[in-house]
C-alpha cells in the first residue's frame, strides 16, 4: 500500500468515526467557488477549502466536490468546464484517480445529483458553494473532530512537507545572494520567485521581504522597488508549497556589523536550542515561555538590558523585543487549524497569561509539524512603551538606537515531532542538501 492510499485509509477511518459520533450518514466537501471583486468581473485568487485538499492534491479546482460514505470508495465530483475563455482543468490524472470513484461534470449544478444520498448529510463548505438541496451546514461537532486530527500528519503529508521545504530553500539562497548584490526588496522577491518556480499567485502566503528598518514590521507587506542607499540587513519570511502543503521559513541576513552580527549569532543558537525542545509530551506553551527566558538571556548577554532573567520576564521586557508567539501548526494551511484544542470535542486549551499572540497551546505528539520562530525586534511603538516603564533605566539606549537601523532578527524552521528522540528539522535538512 503506497503512502497516498494509506493516507486515504486514515482519513476514511477518522471520518467514519466522526460521522458516527455526530449522527451523520455521509459527508460532502465542497472545493469552493471563484469569487469576484465587488462591481467587477475580475476573480480573486482561488483558495480551495482545506478539507477538500486534505483528501486530494487538487488546489485549483473550483466547483468540485467530495462525498465520503462509510464502507464506500471516496466519490470525487470533478468539475471540468467546457470553456474557451479560460484554460479548464486538465483531465483527471495522477495516482489519486486509482483510489476514488470519479465523476466528471461540465456544469457546477450537475454536482447536486451525485451528492444526493440517503440519510443525514454533513456538508463542509462556504455558503456560496451551495447547490439546490445541498446547503453547507458545517456541523461544529464534526469540524472539531476533523480539525483536531489534522495536527497529526500521515507519512504522505510529511513527504510533501519535506518537498515544500526543499522547494523553498534554494529560493532563500537566491534571495540572500540578491541582498548581497544590493538588490531592492522587489528584486529580492523576484529572485525568490524565479528560484522557487512559484508565482505570486501560488505562494502559500505573501512573501515578507524586509530590508533594514522594515524588519521591525512583523508582517511587512510592501516590496520597495528602489534599493536603499545602504542595505544593512534582510529579513525574509517566505515559503513554498507542494501538492497543497506549505513550508514557512524565515532567515535574517547581515551585510556586516559587529553588534548586529553578534545578536544574529546569539539568536541562531537560541533558535536551535528551542527546536531541540520539540519532543513528544512537551506542552508547546512551555516552549514559548522558554523562548522568553532565552530571549532575556540574549538581551543581557549582548548588553541591551541590564536586568536579571526573572526581572525581564516579570516586567515583560522580553515582550517588547519578542511580541509574537514562538510558532504554530503547519500543514495544509500555513497557520494550520486546531492549535487551541484541548481535545476533539472542541474544548479550548488557554494561552498563557500575558501572551495573546501564541497560536498553539497543545501538548506535542508524534506527527505534529510546528514552526519554531523566535524573534528579537526594535519596534518603535513598543520601544516607546519601554522608555516609559520602570525598566527603562536598565536599557542600553545607545545600543538600541544603533540596532534599530537593522529592524530585527527572526529565524524560523519547520519541525516534525517524533515519537521518541530529537525532532526532524525539515528546514535545516533542506538547507543541508543545497
Please give the torsion angle defined by the CA atoms of residues 364, 202, 40 and 137, in that order, rounded to the nearest 10 degrees: -30
Which set of grid coordinates corresponds to residue 422? 530529537
Q: What percent of the chain has pLDDT over 90?
A: 97
Q: Count of residues for the chain?
A: 434
Give the Cα separation of 190 and 188 in Å (integer): 5
Name the least confident of 83-92, 148-157, 205-214, 218-227. 83-92
Place of cell 523576484: 190
User: Given a cut of 70, is residue 1 above it in pLDDT?
Assistant: no
Q: Of 116, 126, 101, 103, which Cα lies nearest the Cα of 48?
A: 126
User: Given a cut of 90, is residue 85 above it in pLDDT?
Assistant: no
Summarised one tens digit per residue, pLDDT across range 174-202 is: 999 999 999 999 999 999 999 999 999 99
Dihedral pair phi/psi, residue 141, rounded to 5°: -60, -40
Last residue of a domain, one of 84, 118, 149: 149
Count Cβ atoms within 10 A of the Cβ of residue 346 and give its class: 0-12 exposed, 13-18 middle, 19 or more buried. Answer: middle
Number of domains forming the structure of the chain: 2
Mean per-residue pLDDT for 371-378?
98
Same domain, 163 and 228: yes
Same domain, 116 and 196: no
Question: Is the pTM for the entire model greater than 0.85?
Answer: yes
CATH number at residue 326: 3.90.230.10
Same domain, 122 and 163: no
User: Given a cut of 80, is residue 122 above it in pLDDT?
Assistant: yes
CATH number at residue 76: 3.40.350.10
Please spell the DSSP secondary structure of 224-257, one letter per residue: -SSPPSS--EEEEEE--EETTEE--EEEEEES--
Same domain, 102 and 225: no
Which set of grid coordinates corresponds to residue 287? 516552549
Same domain, 416 and 347: yes
Same domain, 114 and 190: no
| β partners of residue 246 | 241
434: pLDDT confidence band, cut at 50, 70 and 90?
Answer: confident
Count Cβ atoms within 10 A of the Cβ of residue 296 and give its class: 0-12 exposed, 13-18 middle, 19 or more buried. Answer: buried
Residues 6+ apart with CB under 8 A from 229: none
Last residue of a domain, one of 116, 149, 182: 149
Boundaries of domain holding 380: 155-433
82: pLDDT confidence band, cut at 50, 70 and 90?
Answer: confident
Give the Cα separation of 387 and 385 in Å (integer): 5
84: pLDDT confidence band, cut at 50, 70 and 90?
Answer: confident
Same domain, 125 and 162: no
DSSP structural state of residue 11: H
Please give the torsion angle defined by the CA atoms of residues 361, 364, 368 and 370, in that order, rounded to the nearest 10 degrees: 50
CA 181 from chain centre, in angstroms, equals 29
> What phi-psi label fits residue 335: left (phi over 0), alpha (psi between -120 and 50 degrees) or beta?
beta
Mean per-residue pLDDT for 212-239?
98
Same domain, 162 and 142: no
Residues 6+ apart with CB under 8 A from 181: none
Give the Cα separation of 325 and 341 in Å (integer): 17
87: pLDDT confidence band, cut at 50, 70 and 90?
Answer: confident
SS3 79: strand
CA 58 from chain centre, in angstroms, equals 18
Last residue of a domain, one of 149, 178, 195: 149
Same domain, 131 and 193: no
Same domain, 131 and 182: no
Mean pLDDT of all residues belonging to the chain: 97
Same domain, 62 and 35: yes
Same domain, 144 and 286: no
Q: No. of H helices and E strands in the chain?
A: 13, 15
Give the Cα separation of 65 and 47 in Å (integer): 14
Amino acid at each position: 500500500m503506497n503512502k497516498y492510499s494509506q493516507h486515504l485509509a486514515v482519513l476514511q477511518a477518522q471520518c467514519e468515526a466522526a460521522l458516527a459520533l455526530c449522527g451523520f450518514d455521509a459527508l460532502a466537501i465542497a472545493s469552493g467557488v471563484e469569487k469576484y471583486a465587488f462591481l467587477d468581473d475580475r476573480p480573486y485568487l482561488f483558495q480551495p477549502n482545506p478539507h477538500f485538499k486534505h483528501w486530494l492534491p487538487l488546489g485549483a479546482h473550483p466547483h468540485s466536490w467530495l462525498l465520503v460514505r462509510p464502507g464506500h470508495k471516496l466519490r470525487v465530483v470533478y468539475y471540468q468546464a467546457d470553456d474557451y475563455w479560460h484554460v479548464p482543468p486538465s483531465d483527471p490524472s495522477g495516482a489519486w484517480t486509482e483510489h476514488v470513484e470519479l465523476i466528471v461534470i461540465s456544469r457546477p449544478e450537475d454536482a447536486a445529483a451525485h451528492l444526493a444520498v440517503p440519510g443525514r448529510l454533513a456538508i463542509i463548505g462556504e455558503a456560496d458553494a451551495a447547490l439546490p438541496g445541498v446547503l453547507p451546514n458545517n456541523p461544529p461537532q464534526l469540524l472539531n473532530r476533523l480539525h483536531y486530527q489534522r495536527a497529526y500528519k500521515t507519512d504522505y503529508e510529511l513527504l510533501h512537507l519535506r518537498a515544500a521545504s526543499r522547494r523553498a530553500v534554494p529560493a532563500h539562497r537566491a534571495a540572500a545572494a540578491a541582498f548581497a548584490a544590493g538588490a531592492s526588496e522587489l528584486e529580492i522577491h523576484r529572485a525568490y520567485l524565479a528560484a522557487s518556480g512559484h508565482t505570486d499567485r501560488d505562494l502559500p502566503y505573501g512573501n515578507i521581504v524586509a530590508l533594514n528598518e522594515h524588519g521591525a514590521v512583523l508582517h511587512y507587506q510592501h516590496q520597495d522597488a528602489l534599493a536603499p542607499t545602504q542595505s544593512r540587513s534582510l529579513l525574509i519570511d517566505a515559503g513554498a508549497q507542494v501538492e497543497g502543503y506549505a513550508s514557512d521559513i524565515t532567515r535574517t541576513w547581515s551585510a556586516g556589523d559587529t553588534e548586529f552580527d553578534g545578536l544574529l549569532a546569539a539568536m541562531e543558537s537560541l533558535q536551535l536550542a528551542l527546536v531541540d525542545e520539540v519532543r513528544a509530551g512537551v506542552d508547546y506553551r512551555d516552549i514559548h515561555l522558554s523562548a522568553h527566558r532565552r530571549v532575556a538571556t540574549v538581551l543581557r548577554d549582548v548588553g541591551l538590558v541590564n536586568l536579571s532573567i526573572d526581572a525581564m520576564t516579570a516586567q515583560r521586557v522580553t515582550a517588547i523585543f519578542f511580541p509574537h508567539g514562538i510558532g504554530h501548526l503547519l500543514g495544509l494551511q500555513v497557520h494550520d487549524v486546531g492549535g487551541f484544542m484541548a481535545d476533539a470535542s472542541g474544548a479550548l486549551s488557554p494561552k498563557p497569561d500575558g501572551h495573546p499572540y501564541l497560536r498553539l497551546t497543545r501538548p506535542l505528539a508524534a506527527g505534529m509539524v510546528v514552526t519554531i520562530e523566535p524573534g528579537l525586534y526594535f519596534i518603535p511603538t513598543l520601544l516607546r512603551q519601554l522608555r516609559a516603564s520602570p525598566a527603562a533605566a536598565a536599557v542600553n539606549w545607545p545600543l538600541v538606537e544603533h540596532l534599530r537601523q537593522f529592524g530585527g532578527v527572526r529565524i524560523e524552521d519547520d519541525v516534525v515531532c517524533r515519537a521518541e528522540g530529537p525532532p526532524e528539522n525539515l528546514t535545516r535538512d533542506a538547507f543541508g542538501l543545497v
